[in-house]
Chains A and B, each alone.
Chain A
Amino acid sequence: GIDCSGDSRMCCRKEFFVDFKEIGWEDWIIQPEGYHMNYCVGLCPLHMAGIPGLAASFHTAVLNLIKANNADAAVDSCCVPTQRRPLSLLYYDRDGNIVKTDIPDMIVDACGCT
């Protein structure tokens, strides 16, 4: 995946860190200090659509076949997460209990074109 830099317009991963202290949540969330709410943004022109390695998948192969045989039938391509990981939280619940949980698929590690 590609990280957005400068004024890149192509599909890339935009880093965005939410500091829990800044939003006043540091009293009930013990760990971690913040949440990397990265997201995918940018254009997926047809020549980038489905290039293996960006979002290589079965659908990509099918799309390539459609494109090869009938260029105007190709559908739009979207910039989506291709790799994600859980957000591990250690926090107080409203009864003062300490809860640890891993929320799946909360952090985007890489983006690509469908």
Chain B
Amino acid sequence: APKGVWCPACGLTALAPAAQRDVLIALAKQSILSKLRLQDRPNITQMTSRGALLTALRRTRVQHVDAAISPGMPRDGGIPRLRPGIGLQEYEILSFAESGSSTSHRVHLHFRFAQELAGNTEILQATLYLFWAVPGPGTHPVTVRLLQPDPMGPNMTVASETQLEVQRPGWATLDVGQAVQSLFGQGSQRLTVELEVLEDWGSPLLASHRDSHWPFVAAQARARMPHRVQRR
């Protein structure tokens, strides 16, 4: 900085503008990463398709339609504006399925949750969204099992099993909050869902709409408050 110019707040010699900018940007990065509990910025290997993201945002909003979002949904397919948050740090997570092993009548789907979230948050709600393809009229039974790693060995144990009757193509939801919370409790970060149908039905998911009707889990979580000791 020119001689004799000093920082008005601390009286030290002011930084040259370029150096000051670098310091502030480094501070901004560190501040955001630390508040997101990230060591470094994530390296994105696979991006969720815009179609799947928009569909998921619409589905998760359809329960509590928010006037600020639905008319404001930009026609250019952009992501709706975020609503101003409240004081406590809460998270909404959309985890899209990774395909696991599958046969003609059984499909495995995996959902991962990052360590930063699994270790420091409590799950308030988690819902599995599935879009059914139906081969034809009538009712088609589907068994949905939530599997979790067996602490005693390499196998998976069934955490819960649900029988669904599918009559027409469309979205179905299943509450998986307890399963995700118990996974986090065991230090695991991966939820496996097994869908089983009768032999002659084939894959129960609408694979042809893979990009915008792909299964996902929408979870709401809240940062665990650090243990506070109240002293009077």
Contacts and interface: CB of A to CB of B under 8 A. Distances in A.
Asked if A and B are interacting partners, one says yes
B215 to A, nearest CB: 13
A66 to B, nearest CB: 23
Interface in B81-138: 81-96, 112-114, 116-117
B94 A97 contact: yes
Interface residues of B, number: 45
A16 interface: yes
Nearest to A10: B8
B208 interface: no
Most buried by B among A35, A40, A100, A103: A100
Contacts of B9: 40-43, 79
Contacts of A31: 79, 81-82
B89 A102 contact: yes
Contacts of A102: 82, 84-86, 89-90
A40 B8 CA distance: 11
A98 B93 contact: yes
A41 B10 CA distance: 9
Contact of B31 (A88, A93, A94, A106): A106
A109 B45 CA distance: 36
A23 B42 contact: no
A104 B24 CA distance: 19
Contacts of A65: none
B40 to A, nearest CB: 9
Most buried by B among A18, A31, A39: A18
Contacts of B114: 93-95, 97
A104 to B, nearest CB: 5
Contacts of B43: 28, 94
A38 B90 CA distance: 23
Contact of B47 (A37, A42, A92): A92
A37 B28 contact: yes
B202 to A, nearest CB: 27
Given A28-B41, A37-B28, A96-B47, A90 B82 contact: yes
B218 to A, nearest CB: 10
Interface string A81-95: 000011111111111
B28 A96 contact: no
Interface of B: 7-9, 24-25, 27-29, 31-32, 35-36, 41-48, 53, 56, 79, 81-96, 112-114, 116-117, 189
User: Nearest 6 pairs between A and B by C-beta?
Assistant: A102-B85, A94-B42, A88-B82, A98-B94, A95-B112, A86-B85
20 contacts: A16-B24, A18-B28, A32-B82, A35-B32, A37-B28, A40-B9, A41-B8, A43-B9, A85-B84, A88-B84, A89-B36, A90-B79, A91-B42, A92-B42, A95-B95, A96-B47, A97-B114, A99-B93, A102-B84, A104-B85
